[in-house]
Amino acid sequence: MEQQLQVLAQKHGIPVALLQEAIKEERERIVRQNRRMTPRLKEMIAQYADVSQG
């Protein structure tokens, strides 16, 4: 992974630290989004299960 970051940084002329920080921020955003989605997904699954059983 580190080597790929080096190649990517050189290719685009940006610091590796900037890429690493962007990856970290994106991971945190995805985790927050997943936490918000979980209750809605559970609700949708429960509704689907009720419909398919009825």
Distance (Å, whole) CA 19 – CA 7: 11
Distance (Å, whole) CA 22 – CA 11: 16
What tens digit of pLDDT does each residue of 7-53 get? Answer: 988 999 999 999 999 999 999 998 888 888 888 888 888 888 877 66
pLDDT at 48: 83
pLDDT at 11: 93
pLDDT at 18: 93
pLDDT at 1: 81
Confidence class for position 54, pLDDT limits 50, 70, 90: low
Helix (H, G, I), strand (E, B) or coil at 1: coil
